[in-house]
Amino acid sequence: MKPYRILIVDDDPNILNSISTLLIDEDFVVSTVENGEKAVELLKNGNFDLVLTDLVMGKVDGIDVLKVAKEQNSDTRVIILTGFREMNSAIDSLRLKADDFLLKPCESDELLLRMSNCLNQLDLIRKNRKIELELKKSEERYRNLVECTHDLIWSMDLYGNYSFSNKAVIKFLGYEPEEIVNNKIFSKIHPDEMKQIIEMYKKSIKEKCGWKNVVIRWFHKDGSIRLLESTATPVFDSDDQLRGFNGIDRDVTMKKRMEDEMLNTKKLESIGILTKGIAHNFNNILAIILGNTELSLDIVPKWNPVYDNLQIMKNASWRASDLVKQLTTFSRYNDQKLESVNIGEIIDESNGLLRSEIPGTIEIRYDIQITDETILSDPVLLNQILMNLCLNSSDAMENTVGLIEISAKKVFIDNNAANDHIELKRGNYIQLVVKDSGTGIDPSIIDQIFDPFFTTKDIGNGFGMGLAVVHGIVKYHKGAIRVDSKPGKGAAFTIYFPGIQTVTKEKSDESDTLLMGNEKILFVDDEEAVVSTMKKALERLGYNVKTTTNPKDAMNMIRSKPDMFDLIISDMIMPQMTGVMLFEEVRKIRKDIPFIICTGHSELINEYKAKAMGISHYIMKPFSIKKFAESIRNVFTDNYKN
**What gap in Å lies between CA 477 and CA 474, rounded to an integer?**
5
Residue 143 in domain: no
pLDDT band of 85, cuts 50, 70, 90: low
Residue 138 in domain: no
Do 534 and 596 have their domain in common?
Answer: yes
493 beta partners: 434, 483
Do 519 and 470 have their domain in common?
Answer: no
CB neighbours of residue 51 within 10 Å: 28
Looking at the structure of the chain, the number of domains it has is 4
Residue 234 in domain: yes
Mean pLDDT of all residues in 99-123: 89
Residue 49 in domain: yes
Residue 457 has pLDDT above 60, yes or no: no
Buried b (16+ CB within 10 A) or exposed e, 481-498: beeebeeeebbbbbbbbb
- Nearest-CA neighbor of 379 among 333, 429, 343? 343
- Nearest-CA neighbor of 261 among 478, 14, 110, 540? 478
User: What is the share, in percent, of the chain residues with pLDDT greater than 70?
Assistant: 84
Mean pLDDT of all residues in 64-80: 91
Write down the pLDDT at residue 89.
Answer: 57
Do 22 and 122 have their domain in common?
Answer: yes
Instruction: Give residue 407's domain range.
Output: 339-501
Give residues with Cβ within 8 angstroms of 381, minimum separation 6: 329, 336, 473, 476, 477
Nearest 5°: phi and psi at 406?
Answer: -115, 120
More reliable by pLDDT, 153 or 444: 153
Residue 400 in domain: yes
Do 176 and 90 have their domain in common?
Answer: no
Tens-place pLDDT, residues 598-626: 987 776 778 888 888 999 999 988 888 88
Do 200 and 234 have their domain in common?
Answer: yes
Do 446 and 375 have their domain in common?
Answer: yes
Do 344 and 492 have their domain in common?
Answer: yes
Q: What is the CATH number of the domain that holds 387?
A: 3.30.565.10
Do 19 and 102 have their domain in common?
Answer: yes
Residue 547 in domain: yes
Do 627 and 481 have their domain in common?
Answer: no
Judge contact between 21 and 11, C-beta under 8 A: no
Do 28 and 107 have their domain in common?
Answer: yes
Write down the pLDDT at residue 586.
Answer: 94
**What gap in Å lies between CA 185 and CA 343, rounded to an integer?**
48
Tens-place pLDDT, residues 332-378: 434 456 678 888 888 887 777 677 778 888 888 999 888 777 887 77
Do 226 and 299 have their domain in common?
Answer: no
Write down the pLDDT at residue 452.
Answer: 62
> What is the phi-psi region of residue 42: left when phi exceeds 0, alpha when psi lies from -120 to 50, beta otherwise?
alpha
Q: What is the CATH number of the domain that holds 98?
A: 3.40.50.2300
Write down the pLDDT at residue 589.
Answer: 93
| Domain finish residue from 217, 232, 251 | 251
Q: What is the CATH number of the domain that holds 159?
A: 3.30.450.20
> What is the phi-psi region of residue 440: left when phi exceeds 0, alpha when psi lies from -120 to 50, beta otherwise?
left
**What gap in Å lies between CA 63 and CA 52, rounded to an integer?**
12
Nearest 5°: phi and psi at 77?
Answer: -85, 140
| Domain finish residue from 251, 276, 306 | 251
Do 479 and 599 have their domain in common?
Answer: no
Residue 74 has pLDDT above 50, yes or no: yes
Q: Kindly report the pTM of this predicted structure.
A: 0.44
Whole-number mean pLDDT of the chain? 82
Write down the pLDDT at residue 169.
Answer: 85
Write down the pLDDT at residue 462.
Answer: 43
Residue 194 in domain: yes
> What is the phi-psi region of residue 133: left when phi exceeds 0, alpha when psi lies from -120 to 50, beta otherwise?
alpha
Tens-place pLDDT, residues 236-274: 998 889 999 998 998 888 777 777 666 666 666 666 666
Residue 417 in domain: yes
| Domain finish residue from 459, 475, 501 | 501
Mean pLDDT of all residues in 412-418: 69
pLDDT band of 511, cuts 50, 70, 90: low
Least confident of 13-22, 241-250, 266-275, 433-442: 266-275
